Amino acid sequence: METENTLQPIKDVESCIEAIVFAAGYPMPYQKLSEVIGVGVREIKKFCARIAKRYESDSTGLLFLQFPDSCQFCTKEQYGPYIREALNVRRGGNLSSASMEVLAVVAYNQPVTRAFIDAVRGVDSSYAVNSLIDKELIAATGRLDAPGRPLLYGTTEKFLRVFGLSTLDDLPKTETVLPPNTLTDQLAIEVDAKEAPQQEDAED
């Protein structure tokens, strides 16, 4: 942290939660908020309840949703049709930069495990991976013959279509294609072996 920010006033903690949850976009675990802000999980939940109430009652287009372990901003339902109309026409829309990065890793290195994607990006990529699966841009293509038998992911036909490619060979050969050898499959095996069982069950 570059500045000596200490969040003392209660209002500030609420604003900080809002800012983090907004920037994340995806459901943000209370646990994470607690770690980053330095306030107990129980308190965080209380602050969140206040934020949620504020957005519900206020005349705003946003809602602050509280889930058992996480929270998230979303828009009020009645504006759905307007949103759809405003956003759908945008070329290149609705792929986040995180999703685009995961897609790049998968496209140029497929088939890959989740652990491989995480290792290459250096951060947990599970939200982006799931979102790309939902969008049918990547799909499980098999399992790695390694402890935990983690799923392998590759790109789909739809991926080719939305990027205007006929085959994967049409992917531009840039100088910057990821060198797959620095992070070997071994890494994937090591990491997946620990995580795989519970994670993979959830998906099947």
Within 33-72, which residues bind another protein (CB under 8 A)? 63, 65, 72
- 154 counts as binding a copy of itself under rule CB under 8 A: no
In 7-159, beta strands by DSSP E = 28-29, 62-66, 70-75, 138-143, 151-155
Contact 118, 191 (CB under 8 A): yes
Minimum CB separation from a copy of itself for residue 146, in Å? Answer: 26
Name the nearest CA neighbour of 111 among 188, 3, 24: 188
Tell me: does residue 22 bind a copy of itself (CB under 8 A). Answer: yes
Among 58, 77, 145, 201, contact with another protein (rule: CB under 8 A): 77
Of 40, 79, 158, 194, which one interacts with a copy of itself (CB under 8 A)? 79
Which of 40, 61, 142, 147 touches a copy of itself by CB under 8 A? 61
72 Ramachandran zone, left/alpha/beta (phi>0; psi -120 to 50): beta
**Which of 9/92 has CB closer to another protein?**
92
Among 56, 70, 81, 137, binds a copy of itself (CB under 8 A): 81
Token representation of residue 6: 């200490």
Return the H-helix or E-strand segment holding 116.
helix 114-121
Q: Which stretch binds another protein (CB under 8 A): 8-16, 33-41, 46-54, 127-135?
A: 127-135
